[in-house]
Amino acid sequence: MTNFNKNDIFEVQVIDLTHEGAGVVKIDGYPFFVENALPGEMIEMRVLKTSKKFGFGKVETYLTTSEHRVTDINLDYLRTGIADFGHLAYAEQLKFKRKQIVELLSKTAHKADFPVLEAIPSPDVTKYRNKASIPVRSVNGVLETGFFRKHSHTLVPVEDFFIQQPEIDEVVIAVRDLLRKFGLKAYNEIENTGFVRNVVVRRAHATGEIMVIFVTRKASFFKVDGLLNALTKQFPAIKSIMQNVNASTGNNIFGSDWNLLFGQDFITDIMLERKYDISAPSFYQVNTPAAEVLYAKAIEFADLNAEDVVIDAYSGIGTIGLSFADKVKHVYGVEVVEAAVENARKNAELNGIDNVTYVTGKAEKVMGDWVTEGVKPDVILVDPPRKGLDESFITSAASVGARSIVYISCNAATFARDVVRFEELGYALEKVQPVDLFPQTHHIELVGLLTRVKA
């Protein structure tokens, strides 16, 4: 092996991208990861650091640049990871993210060259996010809102977040200015002092209703009335202002205590022609038009009929099950966040749907209960968080004879792992459709169809 020293310079070609969008370079088989370097580019690379198996380098000079490079991207979006793929042309982002799914299926599920469908692009490729979680910190003595530099908690002040709805950016800037004006203190996580930790803003895509959440270290909120008056006067679309108290020192954004500061404790949006109340602790897909495309694909894969009993596991506020409930016999939903289950029940009512049952609990437990109680689903739809499905969920689900499992995943690695288990238990992977809910970032969603092949 070549011996590498810090600050050595090599002339090399970038051969690939990592999952998170760094360029990959190999020198005598030893990999270096290089920020802001695209496949095909020839660079002079400076060695930053090395370890046993891999190293980090940085671009000293671009000798050639990729035809797919986007040149007008603000580098803060790469440095913070707000848009870790922002330097790559959108069509190439889609190709790369699809390729990663193909590779994971090949590596984990031993499915070489599985015909993963072309990724469906997002209707909007910038300004799409309906939610922002913005850290508030003091930078050189001034309260700032922005984003952390990757792998650190150094705040980079940002005003235009590029992938968020611009109305959300406006609210964040106004909040920052009001916090400064009223002399409120930014959180200091090293000393665990200060007051405002995060500002979370949600804006319903269809209705424009806005919710603002102040995440604070303590409950008592100095000068809150003046601040709320000014903010709601400036933004009549604000329907809800909440406070969340988080006294812990960890990385979780929310603590467990919520206070309603203004208006109501939810906002209402419309998806696939149905209305949804969304409360602060509930999950809601951040890219509404692209999520509608994803749900429509899942419903297409489910191939539902009027006699079907369907399980909607990890149901959130009900956005998937409620969009097809009128086409089937019954929908059973399970979700662990109580506030989201309350939303789902109310959302069923709002849309005049009464053939749904929502249970609060862990899907892996409730799925087993349903099997014991004799619920016989024809289709099981799952939409778990990144860690994927629990082994006990998979064994219960595979034991009840559903004709298909429709699996929505935000993490192809755990999806591929779970596919292996379903295949061992009598299902076969038929289709995988990536849908890009997260343009300019390395994230992507997919929907997979598994059908029953043996009893």
Binding residues for S-adenosyl-L-methionine: 285, 314, 335, 383
Q: Which stretch binds ligand SAH (CB under 6 A): 121-129, 209-217, 237-245, 308-316?
A: 308-316
φ/ψ (deg, to 5) at 227: -65, -45
CB count within 10 Å of CB 83 equals: 25
Considering the complex, state which of residue 270 and residue 337 has its C-beta at the smaller distance from ligand SAH: 337
Can you list the pairs that 141-148 forms with residues at least 24 positions away whose Cβ atoms lie under 8 Å? Answer: 142/180, 143/176, 143/179, 143/180, 143/184, 143/185, 143/186, 143/196, 144/176, 144/186, 145/172, 145/173, 145/175, 145/176, 145/199, 146/80, 147/76, 147/80, 147/81, 147/82, 148/80
Among 123, 129, 132, 178, which residue's Cα sits nearest to residue 158? 132
Is position 314 an interface residue for ligand SAH (rule: CB under 6 A)?
Answer: yes
Of the candidates 410, 412, 437, 450, the residue annotated as catalytic is 410
Residue 332 interacts with ligand SAH (CB under 6 A)?
no
Task: Give the residue at shortest CB distance from ligand SAH.
Answer: 316
- Other CB atoms closer than 10 Å to residue 428's CB: what's the count? 13
- Identify which of residues 393 and 422 has a Cβ nearer to ligand SAH in the complex: 393
- State yes or no: residue 166 binds ligand SAH (CB under 6 A): no
Stretch that binds ligand SAH, among 71-79, 241-249, 310-318, 397-405 (CB under 6 A): 310-318
Residue listed under structure tokens 């399980």 = 311
- Does 320 bind ligand SAH (CB under 6 A)? Our answer is yes
Task: Assess whether 22 carries a catalytic annotation.
Answer: no
Distance CA 438, CA 442 (A): 7
d(CA 25, CA 27): 7
Q: Per CB under 6 A, which of residues 267..296 are in contact with ligand SAH? A: 283-285
Q: CB of 335: closest distance to ligand SAH in angstroms?
A: 5
Closest distance of CB 393 from ligand SAH, Å: 8
What is the Cα–Cα distance from 22 to 39, expressed in whole angstroms? 10
Q: Cβ closer to ligand SAH: 209 or 292?
A: 292
Task: Pick out residues in 372-431 that bind ligand SAH (CB under 6 A).
Answer: 383, 385
Other Cβ atoms within 10 Å of 305 Cβ, number: 11
111/202 with CB nearer ligand SAH:
202
Q: Is 319 in the site for ligand SAH (CB under 6 A)?
A: yes
Q: Which residues are catalytic?
A: 410
Instruction: Please give the residue ranges that form the binding site for ligand SAH (CB under 6 A).
Output: 283-285, 314-316, 319-320, 334-337, 340, 362-363, 383, 385
